[in-house]
Amino acid sequence: MTNTDWPLWEVFVRSRRGLSHTHAGSLHAPDAEFALRNARDLYTRRGEGVSIWVVPAAAITASSPDEKDPFFEPAADKPYRHPTFYEIPEGVKHL
């Protein structure tokens, strides 16, 4: 077995309490424990994180390759979902 067989992991780092984990990058590691240690050494050498998730890249399901595809279209024609869609008389407060 060579390093090519070490699976790929995606690394998510919470930079500080109160924020969500954000994708930082990826790395190869033989198992989850090593993936965590490698992620610590690779992505938090300067205190960039207080918590790390590692996820096998193969376990991620992604939407279609084309990020502009019809998958996201249902949202495009519904401007009424945004507060700015509505006209409110001048001077009305707390709305």
Partner 1 sequence: MTTAAAHRTDPAGAYGEDTAGTAEFERAFDAAVAADERIEPRDWMPDAYRATLVRQIAQHAHSEIIGMQPEANWITRAPSLRRKAILMAKVQDEAGHGLYLYSAAETLGTGRDELLDKLHSGRQKYSSIFNYPTLTWADVGAIGWLVDGAAITNQVPLCRCSYGPYARAMVRICKEESFHQRQGYELLLALSNGTPEQHAMAQDAVDRWWWPSLMMFGPPDDESQHSAQSMAWKIKRRSNDELRQRFVDICVPQAESLGLTLPDPDLRWDEERGHYEFGAIDWTEFWEVLKGNGPCNEERITQRRRAHDEGAWVREAGAAYAVKHTGGTGGARA
Q: Does 90 contact partner 1 by CB under 8 A?
A: no
Say if residues 54 and 32 touch (Cβ distance below 8 Å): yes
Span near partner 1 by CB under 8 A; candidates 28-36, 75-83, 85-93: 28-36
Q: Is 15 in the site for partner 1 (CB under 8 A)?
A: no
The reply to whether 39 sits near partner 1 by the rule CB under 8 A is no
Q: Which residues of 63-90 are buried (b: 16+ CB within 10 A; e: fewer)?
A: eeeeeeeeeeeeeeeeeeeeeeeeeeee
When asked if residue 72 is in the footprint of partner 1 (CB under 8 A), the reply is no
Query: Which residues bind to partner 1, rule: CB under 8 A?
Result: 1-10, 22-23, 25-32, 34-35, 41-42, 45-46, 55-63, 65-68
